[in-house]
Amino acid sequence: MPRPSGEHQPSKSQGTLTRVFVGDMQRFNMVDIGPTTTAKQVLAAVEEQGSLKGWVGTGGWMVWEVAQDFGMERPIRSFEQLADVQASWNKDKMVNMFVIKLTPLAPILSRSNMPSSSPMFSGYVEWEMKRGKWVKRYLRLREHSLFLCKRDNGKDEVFLCSLSNFDAYNVTRLTKAPKPFVFAVKSTDNLSFFENTSDYLHVFACNPRDGDKWVEKILLARSYVLHQERTILFNKSAGGNTAGGSGLSRANTRAGNAGTPQRTGPPPLLTAPGRDDVFLPGSLLRDS
């Protein structure tokens, strides 16, 4: 019986031999991923095996997290540890995977391009307030957090999430969105931490030009907060798993019903069963 695409195998070291796909879903390399293995180290290992030769594209190589259970993907920064990414996956469904792709985001998200301050951005988007129901909202990025309000005057502004524990994703599987470009902000924690599953994932739609800007700004804001709060990731001599000592606060979440958020601060998190029916099956990978 063939193994699932993302299945892991024990290695002789303390790590796990993991399939890392290159360019598409047709080829992969087995890479030993340990508790502190970074995306940069995975790229170096695959390059040493000669698998990055002969590809045509723009930008540079990055490891991508393909969150197939939610139909979305994101680039993983070179300093991020892949074990931390895997910790957010549903272990009962081995459908998520790592894919190495050429992307214009590589130089933008490089360590040398780390922003000196948290990026700010704002504009109108379509927000999926509950599944299949979209409303126009003014979205604001500031202080590495996202806020929503009905109008740009900010009078009814409410807190949505903090990028300490959320990141930007390209949505690759969605139907009936009101705008052509769809992106999401999803928690980097496991879904089991959330009492209300609508707090775990926030989906937006807009035109492609604005969408590219939103994704880039949110990714950079997340890079900034990682650099500020998880300096151990930037210490070349760091050893051991950082999961237990990251200094990160738990993700902020929305409370209340599925309508407009009704608060300005986060409630405590409780445990609840997971949800895996967010999107319909379909193709995942697309060029960045």
Residue 281 to residue 69: CA distance in whole angstroms: 9
What integer pLDDT is reported at residue 229 of this predicted model? 82
DSSP 8-state symbol, 265? S
What integer pLDDT is reported at residue 7 of this predicted model? 53
What integer pLDDT is reported at residue 38 of this predicted model? 96
* Helix (H) and strand (E) counts in the chain: 4, 13
What integer pLDDT is reported at residue 231 of this predicted model? 63
Closest to 264 measured CA to CA, from 145, 135, 118: 145
Residue 204 to residue 136: CA distance in whole angstroms: 10
Closest to 267 measured CA to CA, from 255, 258, 250: 255
> Which residues are paired to 63 by β-bridges?
76, 100
Residue 112: count other Cβ atoms within 10 Å of its Cβ.
Answer: 5
Residue 49 to residue 43: CA distance in whole angstroms: 10
- Name the H helices within 49-201: 82-86, 105-108
Query: Buried b / exposed e across 246-277, counting CB within 10 Å, b at 16+?
Result: bebeebbbbeeeeebbeeeebeebeeeeeeee
- Name the H helices within 57-207: 82-86, 105-108
What integer pLDDT is reported at residue 264 of this predicted model? 41
pLDDT along the chain (288 residues), means of 10: 47 75 89 95 94 87 94 96 92 87 95 92 96 95 96 91 96 89 95 88 96 97 90 52 35 41 37 33 35
- Coil, strand or helix: which one is 33? strand
Residue 80 to residue 102: CA distance in whole angstroms: 18
